[in-house]
Chains A and B, each alone.
Chain A
Amino acid sequence: MNFRRQMYTVVVFTKLSTRRFFRDRLAQFFSILFPLIFLFVFGSFSSGNNNVSFKVALLDQSKTPFANQFVHQLESKKSSFQVQKDITTMDQAKKKMSKSQIDGIIILPASFGAVQQGQHYPTGKLQLLYNQSSSGTGETMTSVLQGIFNQINNKLTGTQPPFTVDGRTLNEKSLSAFDYTFSGLLGFSIIGLGIFGPVNVFPELKKQGILRRLHTTPLRTWQYFLATMFSQAITGIVSIIIQFAVAIKVFHLKIDGNYLEILIFTVFSIFLILGLGLAIGGWAKNERQAAPLSNIVVFPMLFLSGTFFPRYLMPEWLQSVTNYLPLTPVIDGLRLLTTEGKHLIDLGPQIGLMAIWFLVIYTIAFRVFRWE
């Protein structure tokens, strides 16, 4: 057969297996919905980290207008405190705090905000209780409250303090926790697509003799691999576009990069990781061989390549080892391209490492592939 006819074979196989994917609810669940669930779970964890806020119980024993206003201010959305309104007594509050469900208890004594004799403005002393074990949080809350009072004091007394602090946020190019989480989750969904897909499907196809039947035709291994790679790339892109859309809409991910470059890099990443799935699923005669081997390959990558928590949290020596896992350059590269404003041309180390892995993995996959 000449090359054009061989490529026609690849095109038809790609088309048909992609079509099959869009009819298969289960496959869609695992490659589209499943990563989305993780995105929502981990996304809401890490996006909350951006704004520090304290959970407090507020016990207002004062009835003065000033106290009312102050409570109102604490309960407002802009405040750094999340007032737990369901807590109304000291006993409840202490119980919650002993379980670390709240960070502190704010008490406004009866005299809080009353205008004392001989003065023309309200005064008072707020009490803040916090656990000894979280004194850092306590001190932060104290200074936040002190800051609020300083502003009020200045207004009331009309004096201008000689020294003040002007704190401003510097958001340029700084990465939020979600940026790390998101590229990790993309890596996770690429693993789901590329490894769990073939590892589950191939042994089943072998069991039913479907691959064997195909082997009686002139279909070659490389044609079958290529068709699998193309259709996985198509379904993978669909899944990843949906995740990007959710990340941008729901978690306010700011893309600082070029979509075409992200697309090219993603496709290469899918090819690379799929190679592992093709090697394992293609080698295994049945599920009993496939399952343990895929776990041995997948779990180290899931935990050490920065999928669920960033690699910078790991000790130095572990980072230097995990640098070389196949998934690490995928996740790093995705983050660099999406949120760090880097371009493909800046990704030499990542793409180089991926290319080496690509050659190694596909050489193995071709050698060990079995049609039955």
Chain B
Amino acid sequence: MPKTPILKVKDLRKVYDGKPAVDGISFEVEKGEIFGILGPNGAGKTTTLEMIETLREIDGGKATVDGIDVATRPNDIKQIIGIQPQTPAFQDKQKLSEIIEMFAAAYGEKVDAKEFLDDVQLGEKANSFAEQLSGGQRQRLSIAAALVHNPKVFFLDEPTTGLDPQARRNLWELIEEVRDRGVTVILTTHYMEEAEQLCDRVAIMDSGKIIALDTPKKLVKQLLSRGFKKEQVVEQANLEDVFIDLTGKGLRGES
């Protein structure tokens, strides 16, 4: 299968107060992938995303999305990317359908808001105000808002932080659906299990550098081949499996 990278990052750098926050990283993301950037807090994940999203100035190196240079043509980049911020917030007293209408209008487009809300299971809430939504619902609304202009690449910054297990699983499904529509997904997370389940490939960042990049399976294999052994025998299930088994997969707080 010939590889067609849609995102190319070469030697990308960001310096805050003389200290490198992102220290010359390079990677490529294939079209139609779900690509994860993993790392502890302060590793430079968000800064990396924000530079590619045109929100932060690039101090060194180069990033291109679909062949368009981020640094020189930020406005063209904005047309082809969708963004899910870490904590999506919306103005009060605004209906969900109006929020979709507003984001579409920001791209100069007119869309059927109901259709986009249906895609994220919020169709029934079209006339509710944003402040009445639960955390998971707000994340889904934010995803709908980020896709109104049919972006080629979709960035999500820690999309499941703070969500309960049901809402998290629901969001994973949603992200996979988005990928299935042909959108390339790039997300950051610090949940390993999320990366394992969802991502085709992951980059692990620490102190502004990428220290590993491969499919989750291969990374695990590499580790095992180095002679790593878990101290305990791996159980066939974990506590989260128990939790989901007991409480079911249905979303909560949706009534």
List residues of chain A with CB under 8 Å of any chain B CB.
1, 5-6, 8-9, 12-13, 16, 19-20, 23-24, 205, 208-210, 212-219
Give A210 to B91 CA distance when docked, in angstroms.
Answer: 7
Nearest-CB residue, chain B, relative to A224: B106
Q: Are A210 and B106 in contact (CB under 8 A)?
A: no
Q: Are A16 and B106 in contact (CB under 8 A)?
A: no
Known: A215-B55, A218-B75, A218-B78. A6 touches B108 (CB 8 A): yes
Q: Min CB distance, B82 to chain A, in Å?
A: 8
B26 contacts A by Cβ under 8 Å: no
Q: Are B94 and A20 in contact (CB under 8 A)?
A: yes
Which residues on the A side are within 8 Å of B107 (C-beta)? 9, 217-218
Q: Min CB distance, B80 to chain A, in Å?
A: 10
Q: Min CB distance, A148 to chain B, in Å?
A: 62
Known: A16-B102, A213-B88, A217-B103. A9 touches B83 (CB 8 A): no
Which residues on the A side are within 8 Å of B55 (C-beta)? 212, 215-216
Q: Are A219 and B89 in contact (CB under 8 A)?
A: no
Give A215 to B103 CA distance when docked, in angstroms.
Answer: 11
Q: How large is the interface on B (under 10, 10 to 19, 20 to 34, 35 or more residues)?
A: 20 to 34
B53 contacts A by Cβ under 8 Å: yes
Which residues on the B side are within 8 Å of A205 (C-beta)? 91
Give A9 to B78 CA distance when docked, in angstroms.
Answer: 15
What 0/1 readout, one digit per residue, does chain B (198-235) give for beta carbons within 8 Å of chain A?
00000000000000000000000000000000000000
Nearest-CB residue, chain A, relative to B74: A218
Give A209 to B107 CA distance when docked, in angstroms.
Answer: 19
What 0/1 readout, one digit per residue, does chain B (108-124) give for beta carbons within 8 Å of chain A?
10100000000000000
Q: Min CB distance, B135 to chain A, in Å?
A: 14
- Interface SS, B side: loop
Which residues on the B side are within 8 Å of A217 (C-beta)? 78, 103, 106-107, 149
B92 contacts A by Cβ under 8 Å: yes
Which residues on the B side are within 8 Å of A6 (C-beta)? 108
B87 contacts A by Cβ under 8 Å: yes
Nearest-CB residue, chain B, relative to A4: B108
Which residues on the B side are within 8 Å of A218 (C-beta)? 75, 78-79, 106-108
Q: Are A16 and B94 in contact (CB under 8 A)?
A: yes
For the complex with contacts A13-B102, A208-B87, A214-B106, 16 further pairs of A-B residues with Cβ separation under 8 Å are: A1-B108, A5-B108, A6-B108, A8-B108, A9-B105, A9-B108, A12-B105, A24-B93, A210-B90, A213-B83, A216-B55, A216-B78, A216-B81, A217-B103, A218-B75, A218-B106
B150 contacts A by Cβ under 8 Å: no
Q: Are A213 and B102 in contact (CB under 8 A)?
A: no
Q: Are B98 and A219 in contact (CB under 8 A)?
A: no
Nearest-CB residue, chain A, relative to B105: A12
Give A216 to B107 CA distance when docked, in angstroms.
Answer: 10
Which residues on the B side are within 8 Å of A20 (C-beta)? 91-94
B101 contacts A by Cβ under 8 Å: yes
Nearest-CB residue, chain A, relative to B145: A213
Q: Are B53 and A216 in contact (CB under 8 A)?
A: yes
Which residues on the A side are within 8 Å of B102 (C-beta)? 12-13, 16
Which residues on the A side are within 8 Å of B90 (C-beta)? 210
Which residues on the A side are within 8 Å of B87 (C-beta)? 208-209
Subset of 24 A-B contacts with CB under 8 Å: A1-B108, A5-B108, A6-B108, A8-B108, A9-B107, A9-B108, A12-B102, A13-B106, A16-B101, A16-B102, A20-B92, A23-B93, A24-B93, A208-B89, A209-B87, A210-B90, A212-B85, A213-B88, A214-B106, A216-B55, A216-B78, A216-B81, A217-B103, A219-B106
Q: Min CB distance, A177 to chain B, in Å?
A: 40
B54 contacts A by Cβ under 8 Å: yes
Which residues on the A side are within 8 Å of B75 (C-beta)? 218
Q: Min CB distance, A10 to chain B, in Å?
A: 9
Give the residues from 55 to 85 in chain B that come closer than 8 angstroms, CB to CB, to chain A. Answer: 55, 75, 78-79, 81, 83, 85
Which residues on the B side are within 8 Å of A19 (C-beta)? 98
Which residues on the A side are within 8 Å of B94 (C-beta)? 16, 20
Which residues on the A side are within 8 Å of B79 (C-beta)? 218
Which residues on the A side are within 8 Å of B108 (C-beta)? 1, 5-6, 8-9, 218
Q: Are B103 and A209 in contact (CB under 8 A)?
A: no
- Across the A-B interface, the 5 shortest Cβ-Cβ residue pairs: A5-B108, A12-B105, A217-B106, A208-B89, A23-B93
Nearest-CB residue, chain A, relative to B108: A5
Nearest-CB residue, chain A, relative to B87: A209
Q: Are B85 and A12 in contact (CB under 8 A)?
A: no
